[in-house]
Structure 1
Amino acid sequence: MRDVEIRGDMIRLGQLLKLADIVGSGGEAKALLAELPVTVNGEPESRRGRQLHHEDVVTVAGDVLRVVARG
């Protein structure tokens, strides 16, 4: 599991994927979510606008990412 630090209380799924260097743009995030299974806290997810919060866990393309809020 890899921790991904965010500023503030929440981040959108597409932004998290960019921050974690899994995709390079919003368009790539949209395509990835259409093609690969992605789960948030064990539940399937396909919306790149999904809001994530501290301690949420995202599984995508073999990576497991945990959202960690700074401060």
Structure 2
Amino acid sequence: MAEYKISGEYIQLIQLLKVLSWVENGGQAQAAVTAGLVTCNGQVDYRKRLKVRPGDVVEFEGKQVRLT
């Protein structure tokens, strides 16, 4: 599992998908979240602006990352 260090208290889920280059743009990130293709800590979450924080694990298309 990969790790990604965020610089603040949290990062929005769609921003994280873009920063990790798991999607090409914000529209694709929003579509992936809306379709239920992204999980946070093992749970599907449909909130595009979900604040993910250190310790959270995000998964998309077989890729996982733990925030630090």
TM-score by length of 2: 0.87
Instruction: Report whether the alignment pairs 1:51 with 2:51.
Output: yes
- Contact 1:36-1:60 at 8 Å conserved across structures: no
Aligned equivalent of 1:6: 6
1:1-71 alignment, distance < 5 Å:
1-35=1-35, 37-68=37-68
- Give 5+ residue unaligned stretches, structure 2: none
- Contact 2:34-2:48 at 8 Å conserved across structures: no
Percent identical pairs in the alignment equals 35
The structure with the largest strand share of the pair is 1
- Give 5+ residue unaligned stretches, structure 1: none
- Contact 1:36-1:61 at 8 Å conserved across structures: no
- Contact 2:40-2:58 at 8 Å conserved across structures: yes
Deviates more, 1:51-60 or 1:28-37: 28-37
Distance 1:38 1:51 in 2: 13
TM-score by length of 1: 0.84
| Coordinate RMSD, CA, aligned | 1.3
